[in-house]
Homo-oligomer: A and B are copies of this chain.
Amino acid sequence: SDVKKIAVISGDGIGPEVVAEAEKVLKRTEELFGYTFETSHALFGGIAIDQKGTPLPEETLEVCQNADAVLLGAVGGPQWDNNPKELRPETGLLGIRKALGLFSNLRPAVVFDCLKDASTLKPEVLEGTDLMVVRELTGGIYFGDKLRRQGEHGEEAVDTCVYNVTEVERIVRQAFEIAQKRKKRLASVDKANVLETSRLWREVVNRVAPDYPDVEVEHVLVDNCAMQLLRRPASFDVIVTENMFGDILSDEAAMLTGSIGMLSSASLGEGSFGLYEPVHGSAPDIAGQGAANPIATILSVALMFRMTFGYEDAADAIEKAVAKVLDEGHRTSDIAVDKSQAISTSAMGDLIVKNM
């Protein structure tokens, strides 16, 4: 059938507020474009720990597995930070990525014109910055064996970073394909002068590169990449890297745009299934006040339409509506210069819906 099933996970903090606005957008899309969505809500993260005793309940996983895509608000908060590992929201996040086979995390870092002053970088440095970090999401040191043991010099801890050729090749090929649809430049980031996993990574990149002759590849060491992102952000197009480096570099890249409250992300597996979420966190300090900015979550819906459903028309409509509302000067308080003029989460959502 043409009914698209969306698992909706509101999560913690401002999650429920921003997701509610995204759901208005889903509803308006049905009216405007004749698409049909079936949404199922599921508990995840801190709220699931409180209500079900685990961050990733079995039924939540089932809801996701039965869906075509997942929309996630945000998870986490200080009240769960000192919990044992199995009772922490992050453990749910790692669990859902692995269980759903979401091996690729796409984090576009773009500069919104109206927010370019919010960046701590000089505007002339930022000019033209539009990059995408493609982060491997289900391998590396995140998922390798971990242990504690007594060693010669007291207690010791071990983390293991493992990558196989298959894992590297699928994410690298995906990054090449994404680069082909963009500015055709790929920076593969590793630490090949120190790590064996990085040397394997680099070999795979070099082996598959000839299959994408139109893409210009460079290998960048991770420490150098952390510098170059600051020095010449606009010179990057697609950056592909392993899980841990991607965690660090995608946050650095997002922050330098100054637009972190507006950025969406996609986590993809084989096929068209994907999990979509804003880059920002659960912001417990402003939760429940109607002050959160729903734009990143709404743009995550647009990303879902484009990447999972192929609904380019609806994705365009959302993105244009967001641009229009911002052009007209409407701002939630996080992006308002004059905070007294700021509008609420739901007012922002309504305006975007009205302009679709």
Report which A residues bind B (CB closer than 8 A). Answer: 88, 90, 94, 120-122, 125, 141-142, 144, 146-148, 151-167, 191, 193-197, 199-200, 222-224, 226-227, 230-231, 244-245, 247-252, 254-256, 260
Contacts and interface: CB of A to CB of B under 8 A. Distances in A.
A172 B223 CA distance: 22
B156 A158 contact: no
Given A230-B256, A251-B226, A252-B227, A158 B161 contact: yes
Nearest to A247: B223
A146 to B, nearest CB: 4
A249 to B, nearest CB: 7
B248 A226 contact: yes
A296 to B, nearest CB: 15
Contacts of A256: 230
Given A141-B141, A142-B194, A165 B156 contact: yes
A96 B105 CA distance: 38
Contacts of A196: 146-148, 157-159
A148 B260 CA distance: 39
Given A120-B125, A226-B248, A226-B252, A154 B141 contact: no
Nearest to A160: B160
A32 B183 CA distance: 59
A82 to B, nearest CB: 11
Given A120-B230, A254-B227, A155 B194 contact: no
Nearest to A232: B120
A161 B160 contact: yes
9 contacts: A88-B193, A90-B194, A121-B121, A141-B194, A151-B164, A155-B200, A156-B162, A158-B160, A223-B251
B194 A167 contact: no
